[in-house]
Amino acid sequence: MSGVSVAPSLLSADPGRLAQEMLDLEAAGADILHLDVMDGNFVPNITFGPWLARLARKTSKLPVDAHLMVADPLEWAPVFAEAGADYVSVHVEAATHLHRVLSAIREKGAKAGVAINPGTPVSAVEAVLPFVDLLVVMGVNPGFSGQPYIAGTDARVAKLSKALREAGLENDVLIEVDGGVTDQNAQALARAGANILVTGSYLFQSGDYKGAVDRIKAASAA
Ligand code: DX5
Ligand code: ZN
């Protein structure tokens, strides 16, 4: 099994130079661009529209991972898939008809993801494991970067990793951890089964993107 992929969250990037930030992240060895889309309804913050997915598609070769923290995922998930996102993840807490949303994402040619908040039992996504490509386990309550990591997130990853193995889906579905990731918790998360680690404040506040990426990858492989 290859090492973890590192997905910087553009929520923490310099909004005045987003395209350059994407190129710098690519040069620093980042693997995926994570776009935190917030509607001010599902979470108490407002961020980007589909334009950022189009900009990322135009600017970078890296896969684009759109994390939709929106109250109406059925409306917005196809829009971000059409805008060029490779992965589109919606929150199980926001999707009345989750299977329908996941199908709509795949019909647009993107990979379908489901995200779960720290207060949501991992059992909430068991029914859709055969219909997803990505599981996003939140390490913080969604809405902001720079929040403290919630201990026990690795145990939640391990539960999902086990559920995927029991379903014979361990090679079909990736597990992403999003929120509060640093080189201090990367090892436990990787050992628990995480494949993608999102990082916002840890990387962007480091002043050394490549160093931060390398430290997370080294820690996760230790
Ligand atoms: C929170 C977002 C996360 C966050 C990551 O709602 O989904 O992607 O921006 O930032 P850090 O790594 O600082 O928690
Ligand atoms: Zn996110």
Burial code of 12-46, b = ≥16 C-beta within 10 A, e = fewer?
bbeeeeeeebbebbbebebbbbbbbbbbeebbeee
Residue ranges in the chain modelled with pLDDT below 50: 1
For the Cβ of 199 lying below 6 angstroms from any atom of ligand 1, the answer is yes
* CB-neighbour burial class of residue 57 (10 A; exposed 0-12, middle 13-18, buried 19+): middle
Is 65 known to be catalytic?
Answer: no
Sorted by where each starts, the structural domains of the chain and their CATH numbers stand as 5-221 (3.20.20.70)
Look up tokens 């130079």; give the residue: 17
Tell me the CA–centroid distance for residue 89 and ligand 2, in Å. 9
- Residue 2's pLDDT is 65
Per-residue pLDDT, 50 = 98
pLDDT in tens, 8-53: 999 999 999 999 999 999 999 999 999 999 999 999 999 999 999 9
Q: Which candidate in 31, 36, 86, 154 is catalytic?
A: 36
What is the separation, in whole angstroms, between the first and last Cα of the chain? Answer: 14
Atom 1, ligand 1: residue with shortest CA distance: 142
Active site residue 172: no
Tokens standing for residue 99 = 């299977």
Residue 120: half-sphere exposure toward Cβ, Cα within 13 Å: 22
